[in-house]
Structure 1
């Protein structure tokens, strides 16, 4: 049974077998690298905060707020690369069995899956848009005024940008699956 990162029954996806997503896939890889660097910065800050609390009874201001916003930002930075590299979580048990018997039908089902994913992220981006505008207009922030604050709008903008990237990747994957369903190459 295939799982995340698998291509076909029990095979791990390699760069040679990963879906072709072109320049958008490279943008997703870059965004994921930024997310990884962000994780490293977050780890350094959390460790410095713990050390400051334990050794000096002086925590770093804003670390909990930064971490809380960071987790959301990192998820949206890395979602596109997870999808482009075939590691987006999904269950392929039915698809693998169908592909063994009827590959074109499996490809058609894959088209439906990719279009549903694109629709989900489109709804998410659409729902986030007014929240982004409201956060900018109202100057929303996390933290305590006079102590430490972080604006919320950059993370909301990142969520929308990450969603748009995932939508584009899903559409590329849907087009490739449609070509397979029609009997062509992806």
Structure 2
């Protein structure tokens, strides 16, 4: 899908495919440097992180292992329920490993804060966070994010793994969704 396929559904494009790829390359170079000589496990948070996880893994020049986790705090609505559930847990033992959580976006930070604490309780050597997008205005908790692709406005965004009602994930860019779509 491209912007012409969903033009009527978007308010504006916030980050093009080219901008996303350029930023991932920059962050991958920093990650390669930061973890040089160490084994790194990258943990993608399903479903949104699929696109960024794949692109990040391909951009890295060092060996990494990968695992996936799915957590939910939304239930059936668009507002967090405040209760985090593990839907799919890791298959990898984290004991002594360097872990990099890979997220598509950080809004309130509540779920990610819980997830980081959960993974830290499993005995890893380190746990850091990578997010492609972050909404600083939406933050409800302070969370240390080592790698940030881009800060964006506190708007409803879709594309590059981000969805509305399971649609728009396959857009190669990120745009703000027009209010008439979700109102």
Same fold (TM over 0.5): no
Greater share of strand = 2
TM-score (norm 2): 0.29
Quick check: which has more Rg, 1 or 2? 1
Greater share of helix = 1
